[in-house]
Amino acid sequence: MNTPDTRERLLDAAQKLFVEHGIDATSLRNVTTDAEANLASVNYHFGSKDELIQAVFARHLEPLNKERIRLLDELEREAGDTPLYLETTLEAFLKPTFEMMQNQKSREFVCLLGRLFTESSELKMLIMHQFQEVQKRYFAALQRTLPHLGIIDLSWRVHFMIGAMAHTFAVPEKLSIPSSSEAYNLTEESIMQHLITFAAAGLRAPVPSQTNGDNQK
Amino acid sequence: MNTPDTRERLLDAAQKLFVEHGIDATSLRNVTTDAEANLASVNYHFGSKDELIQAVFARHLEPLNKERIRLLDELEREAGDTPLYLETTLEAFLKPTFEMMQNQKSREFVCLLGRLFTESSELKMLIMHQFQEVQKRYFAALQRTLPHLGIIDLSWRVHFMIGAMAHTFAVPEKLSIPSSSEAYNLTEESIMQHLITFAAAGLRAPVPSQTNGDNQK
DNA sequence: GTAAAATTCAAACGTTCGTTTGAAACAAAC
DNA sequence: GTTTGTTTCAAACGAACGTTTGAATTTTAC
């Protein structure tokens, strides 16, 4: 049990090093050394570095998105025709990710996922494609809950919320505010509640009366 | 005027390519080719690739932070002892950056800055150090405006706001919500107003009564 | 116009990268 | 025990990287 499959050890090492030093800055030699495997093992098990990267993401991403869809399905089935409560929708969206953060290895993955939004290249496209159904479903749910918001307003607010979420996942040092060395680290559950409170208030904010001629639906 | 200093052309090319392909993935050969300069020119003018990167940031970062401080100084001088209006504080913080986005070259820089938060390495540390005074000043201003918020609550909410802001700056394709091909691109001014509305509401959200025993000040 | 300084240039340096290879080691099947 | 298929290994490949060098070129100063 100390040494699982070479394939698994490679994925673990790659994920760890990707978080520590970034994907580009991590060489296959770093990965295989950390995994105590031969340099050629990556190309044997995955074919190439690119496919290793995709495998690192694929391992956790599909279950995560499936769970987000499942929770929304469940909520909408219970609710029938009535729109969901905003905080309930947000919690369904966020909970699977925050639960991943309980476990060290999945936590690394969440961190990697948070950073992905600001990555360049085709990798983002590929991951985003898998995320599109989740996005579409939750956006529709939010539209039903906040029908007074035009699609432009809602889109921007969702954009801001995604940013707050990604940043929370991506930046491990958490609270960047220094001051006294208090015990800042809250539980994941508590952090999620803070985020839900913040995002829900932002999403619910009254639309300011436009004083200029912007294209508002 | 078509060909400014080699030094300047190198900075422009590096900035452009950093945004397009990421810092690590951009080679000095890419930079010098794009700048129509010799490969050795980077090491001649800057010393090394690392110092080129720092120069790209230094060029715009210091004026930006200085302006943020200046605006806050001005507001606090006018207000005297009374705390600032929340939206006013946020606008002072955001306006210098959004104004940078009007110009194409500075806009690239803003994009680069937004992505920096999720970068690894010592570069972030170096940039963050320059940002610390701004952070301290604005955090104090927010504390005066929102005195009912404990430092932990406020810290997290600022964290979320920074995330929303960084994401807005970093992701150029802007609205990730597809649907109809409407004219989604608003003016920078309008986007800033959307962000201020969202962040102000999030910051002002009532603190939920804690049902569990979290460490709340 | 000439001397001095600053800049550009082509070429090469040593490293590190991702990938390939073919033999060795191991496992499973009969 | 031999055969077959899978996995590991050390070694090498060519390509691309950041950097250095020393001569050529341009700019500056007098």
Domain ranges for chain B: 1-47, 60-175+184-204
B117 pLDDT more than 90:
no
Topology of domain B60-175+184-204, per CATH? Tetracycline Repressor; domain 2 (1.10.357)
Q: Which residue has the tokens 């049990």?
A: A1
Q: Which residues, given as ranges, of chain A have pLDDT below 70?
A: 1-4, 120-121, 172-186, 210-217
d(CA B127, CA B120): 12
Around A113, how many Cα atoms within 13 Å sit in the side-chain half-sphere? 27
d(CA B152, CA A175): 9
d(CA A179, CA A94): 29
What's the pLDDT score for residue B89?
97
Q: Measure, in angstroms, how far nucleotide C15 C1' is from residue A106 CA.
A: 35
Q: Give the number of A-B residue pairs with CB atoms closer than 8 Å.
A: 194
Chain A CB contacts of B129 under 8 Å are none
Taking every pair of Cα atoms in chain B, the longest distance, rounded to a whole number of angstroms, is 66
What's the pLDDT score for residue B215?
42
What's the pLDDT score for residue B173?
63
Task: Give which of A137, A100, A110 is closest to A18, Cα–Cα.
Answer: A110
Q: Which nucleotide is nearest to B52 (CA to C1')?
A: D18
What's the pLDDT score for residue B183?
47
Mean pLDDT value across chain B: 88
Topology of domain A1-47, per CATH? Arc Repressor Mutant, subunit A (1.10.10)
What's the pLDDT score for residue B188?
80
**A42 burial via Cβ count (<10 Å: 0-12, 13-18, 19+):** buried
Q: Which two tokens stand for residue B155?
A: 């810290």
Higher pLDDT, B103 or A149: A149
d(CA B15, CA B154): 34
Higher pLDDT, A87 or B101: A87
Binary contact (B195, A164; C-beta < 8 A): no
- Is residue B213 very low, low, confident or very high in pLDDT (cuts 50, 70, 90)? very low
Mean pLDDT, rounded, for B154-162 = 95
The CATH code for residues A60-177+184-204 is: 1.10.357.10
Q: Measure, in angstroms, how far nucleotide D18 C1' is from residue B44 CA.
A: 13
List the single residue in A with minimal CA-CA distance to B116: A118
What's the pLDDT score for residue B130?
87
List the single residue in B with minimal CA-CA distance to A152: B184
Q: Which two tokens stand for residue B151?
A: 């430092």
B27 CB-to-strand D distance under 7 Å: yes
What's the pLDDT score for residue A183?
47
Binary contact (A157, B114; C-beta < 8 A): no
Task: Give which of B15, B1, B6 is closest to B43, Cα–Cα.
Answer: B6
Q: Which residue has the tokens 């715009």?
A: B60
Task: Give which of A192, A208, A179, A4 is closest to A92, Cα–Cα.
Answer: A192
Q: Do B196 and B164 meet the contact criterion of CB atoms below 8 Å apart?
A: no
Q: Tell me which of A151, A177, A216, A217 to substitute to probe the interface with B (most B C-beta atoms closer than 10 Å).
A: A177
Higher pLDDT, A28 or B125: A28
Binary contact (A22, B197; C-beta < 8 A): no
A186 CB-to-strand D distance under 7 Å: no
Minimum mean pLDDT among B117-121, B163-167, B193-197: which range?
A: B117-121
Mean pLDDT, rounded, for B74-100 = 95
B29 CB-to-strand D distance under 7 Å: yes
A43 CB-to-strand D distance under 7 Å: no
Q: Do A191 and A183 meet the contact criterion of CB atoms below 8 Å apart?
A: no
- Is residue B171 very low, low, confident or very high in pLDDT (cuts 50, 70, 90)? confident
Q: Measure, in angstroms, how far nucleotide D13 C1' is from residue A40 CA.
A: 14
Chain A CB contacts of B117 under 8 Å are 118, 167, 170-171
Q: Measure, in angstroms, how far nucleotide C19 C1' is from residue A68 CA.
A: 38
- % residues pLDDT > 70 (chain B): 86
Residues 10-39 of A with CB under 7 A from strand D: 37-39
What's the pLDDT score for residue A2?
42
H/E/C letters for each residue in chain A?
A: CCCCCHHHHHHHHHHHHHHHHCCCCCCHHHHHHHCCCCCCHHHHHCCCHHHHHHHHHHHHHHHHHHHHHHHHHHHHHHHCCCCCCHHHHHHHHHHHHHHHCCCHHHHHHHHHHHHHCCCCHHHHHHHHHHHHHHHHHHHHHHHHHCCCCCHHHHHHHHHHHHHHHHHHHHCCCCCCCCCCCCCCCCCHHHHHHHHHHHHHHHHHCCCCCCCCCCCCC
H/E/C letters for each residue in chain B?
A: CCCCCHHHHHHHHHHHHHHHHCCCCCCHHHHHHHCCCCCCHHHHHCCCHHHHHHHHHHHHHHHHHHHHHHHHHHHHHHHCCCCCCHHHHHHHHHHHHHHHCCCHHHHHHHHHHHHHCCCCHHHHHHHHHHHHHHHHHHHHHHHHHCCCCCHHHHHHHHHHHHHHHHHHHHCCCCCCCCCCCCCCCCCHHHHHHHHHHHHHHHHHCCCCCCCCCCCCC
Mean pLDDT, rounded, for B11-32 = 94
d(CA B198, CA B192): 10
d(CA B182, CA A149): 16
What's the pLDDT score for residue A124?
85
Q: Which of A151, A156, A193 sits opposite B208 (nearest CB)?
A: A193
